[in-house]
Homo-oligomer: A and B are copies of this chain.
């Protein structure tokens, strides 16, 4: 990567920076008008577009001493691409707003953009526009757009008797957070999982095609996000600890920090795996595992309740805002 710009954002100026950033963003054939106009124009197959928006704020969603600029670009893109995945869609474009201090080194912005562009390109999505403004804390706002070939899968369709399934990593990013929070920088695979999550991007459209009844991505925490599905669907669900994978790196971190690694799995967020419910008997492809079931009405459980091995889980955790 060769940079011709140097100095701070103030030194470089808005227009030069926009030009340098835009040059990094390749446009797919889904893009009819890319960056540089009042708005972009994107193809929307089937006359529908799936759209989301998320914000990330320095010090709350990322730390400059824990993650490189490119990591933050990857993660910001991944978090938003995942929202389209969680509807059963394929992301086609991102719009990216960056608020940054005037004394930020331009290299940071360029490497951030490289991370964004790489993550988007990994799923064939283009960065079609955005905004650049001055702010005291680095603030990232991303809108993801996509299409749903197989229809959309909402949170609200889980049915009694369905199986609860999981695709993708779970607990890795939270373990990485725990490691970094104690001042460590290893195991590397775990720390990297926090810095650059690896959402199972093909799993969303796959689940839609397989007839998933409800779906959500795990951003705040497994039990909390599963609770959103249970509440929206008006059902209660139970998961079984024994059905989860607790990979060796998670066990190692748990042992080193004196934490039950199952806690990372059950309460961690930020891996952007997918929780989906399917009618029992579904033939799940590789990458999906059954971890629980939607309870029958006769179980006497409350709507929206999530239990672990039939019991409430002490401190279901998850991310809370405004605390």
Contact = CB atoms under 8 A, between A and B. Distances in A.
Interface stretch (A87-95, A280-288, A292-300): A87-95
A54 interface: yes
Q: How many copies does the complex hold?
A: 2
Contact of A143 (B17, B32, B143): B143
A158 to B, nearest CB: 13
Contact of A38 (B14, B45, B99, B216): B216
Contacts of A51: 39-42, 51, 93, 95, 128-129, 143, 145
Interface string A62-80: 0000000000000000000
Contact of A131 (B53, B216, B320): B53
A261 to B, nearest CB: 27
A130 B56 CA distance: 12
Contact of A139 (B9, B83, B99, B216): B99
B148 A86 contact: no
A32 B96 CA distance: 24
A246 interface: no
Interface in A276-323: 320-323
Interface of A: 9-10, 12-14, 17, 32-33, 36-57, 60-61, 82-84, 86-87, 89, 93, 95-97, 99, 102, 128-137, 139, 141, 143-146, 148, 152, 154-156, 215-217, 232, 320-323
27 contacts: A9-B322, A10-B323, A13-B320, A13-B322, A17-B322, A33-B152, A37-B154, A37-B232, A38-B215, A38-B216, A39-B51, A39-B83, A41-B87, A41-B152, A44-B47, A51-B129, A53-B53, A53-B129, A55-B97, A55-B133, A55-B139, A55-B141, A56-B133, A60-B135, A102-B322, A133-B321, A136-B136
